[in-house]
Structure 1
Amino acid sequence: AHRPPGAPAPEPQPEPPARSLARPAPVPPKVVKPIPAPPAPQAAYVLVSQSQMAGAITAGDGPGGGLSGSGAASGQGLGAGGGGDECSMVRRLEAALRRDRDVTAAVRAASNAADARGRALHVWDGDWVMTPGESGKGLAGVRQAIAMEVAFAPEACRRDPVRGLVLLSLADGPAAPRVALGAGTWRWADLLRP
C-alpha cells in the first residue's frame, strides 16, 4: 500500500488472535459407585414338624387322599371291572417314588443332609421348594416322578381337591425318608404347574 507524503504512518493493526487448535478438555463422567445386586436366595431344606406330619394325609387314609365324600350306585354290565379305589393318588405317588431307586436315594441323601431324623422334606407348598444343591425348584427326580404319575392319572383324579399336607413315605419304618406336599386346599393337577 502506497502512502502519500506527509501522511501519518498507519497504526499497526493488531494481529488477529491465533486460532486455538486445542479443544476444551472433556468433563470426566461422574463416578457412580455400582449398587451390588442382592444376593441370590439361599436354598434351605424345609422340614415338616412331627405335629404337621401327624395331621397329614398318608397312603393308608382312604381313596384319593383328598376331601371325603360318599355316594352309592348299582348296575349291571359286561366287561372287566375296575379294581376300585382308582383315584388313590397318595398310594399311586408313594408307590411310584418307592419303585424309583434314584428318587429314593436322592430323598435319603437330602434327608441326611437336612438332618431330618424322621421328619419329612417339604418339597411342594403350592410351588416347588428350592432345595440346596439343585439347580431348579424341588428335588428334580422327585418332581419328575410325581409329575409323570399325576400327568397320566385319570383326569377326574387330577381334579380331586386335597386339603393340607400329604405325606409320602419312601420306605417302611419311623426313620424312613419322607416327602410332604401341599398347603391349604389344592388339587393334584396343581403339581403339574412349573
Structure 2
Amino acid sequence: MVKRIQDALRNDARINAAIGQAYRTSGASGRAILMWNGDWLQSPGEEGKGLAGVRQAIAVTVGFSSRACKAETVNGYVLLTLSDQPGAPRVALGGGRWRWSDLLSL
C-alpha cells in the first residue's frame, strides 16, 4: 500500500507542487510533514485539512484497494517521499496502531 500511495503522489504534478509548497512554508527543513495522525491535520495557509489534493489522492488509492489491504494493521508512522533525490519533500502518516481504511474517514 505504501508504494501505491507514494507512486500516486509522485506521479501527479499538482500534488508534488502542493506538498512542495507546504514543505517550504512549514519549516520542515529536512523533516517529514505529518499530515494524518488519526485525523487529517491542517497545513498552514490551507483552508481544509490534509492538503485536499493529497488527501483525495490517498483516499482514491486506498478506496480502490482490496478489503484485505484496507484492513491491514499498521503500527507507528509511514513515510512517503516525493522522489528518491536527497532532500525531497516527505510526508508522514500514522502514529500508534491504525488501519489503511482509517485514512478514508474525514
Shared fold (TM-score, shorter chain, > 0.5): yes
Kept in 2, the 8 Å contact 1:118–1:174? The answer is: no
**Which TM-score applies when normalising by structure 2?**
0.96
| Structure number with higher relative contact order (C-alpha < 8 Å, ≥ 6 residues apart) | 2
1:130 equivalent to 2:42? Answer yes
Structure 1 gap segments, 5+ residues each: 1-88
Kept in 2, the 8 Å contact 1:90–1:168? The answer is: yes
Report the AA paired with residue 43 of structure 2: T
Equivalent in the alignment of 2:28? 116
> In proportion to residue count, which structure has more strand?
2
Identity rate, percent: 56
Any idea what the Cα deviations from partners look like across 1:133-191, whole Å, max 9, x if unmatched? 21111111110100000000111100000000000001112300110000100000000
1:192 equivalent to 2:98? Answer no
Kept in 2, the 8 Å contact 1:130–1:136? The answer is: yes
Report the AA paired with residue 99 of structure 2: R
> In proportion to residue count, which structure has more helix?
2
Aligned residues: 106
**Distance in 2 between the 1:117 and 1:132 partners?**
15
Equivalent in the alignment of 2:11? 99
User: CA shift at 1:130, angstroms?
Assistant: 1.2
**Distance in 2 between the 1:159 and 1:174 partners?**
33
Kept in 1, the 8 Å contact 2:25–2:44? The answer is: no
**Distance in 2 between the 1:163 and 1:173 partners?**
26
User: CA shift at 1:132, angstroms?
Assistant: 1.4
Equivalent in the alignment of 1:141? 53
Structure 2 gap segments, 5+ residues each: none
**Distance in 1 between the 2:65 and 2:33 partners?**
24
Equivalent in the alignment of 1:161? 73
**Distance in 2 between the 1:161 and 1:173 partners?**
29
1:151 equivalent to 2:63? Answer yes
Kept in 1, the 8 Å contact 2:10–2:83? The answer is: yes
Report the AA paired with residue 155 of structure 1: R
User: CA shift at 1:106, angstroms?
Assistant: 0.5
Query: How large is the RMSD of aligned CA atoms in angstroms?
Result: 0.8
SS at match of 1:180: strand
SS at match of 1:164: strand
**Distance in 2 between the 1:108 and 1:172 partners?**
14
User: CA shift at 1:115, angstroms?
Assistant: 2.1
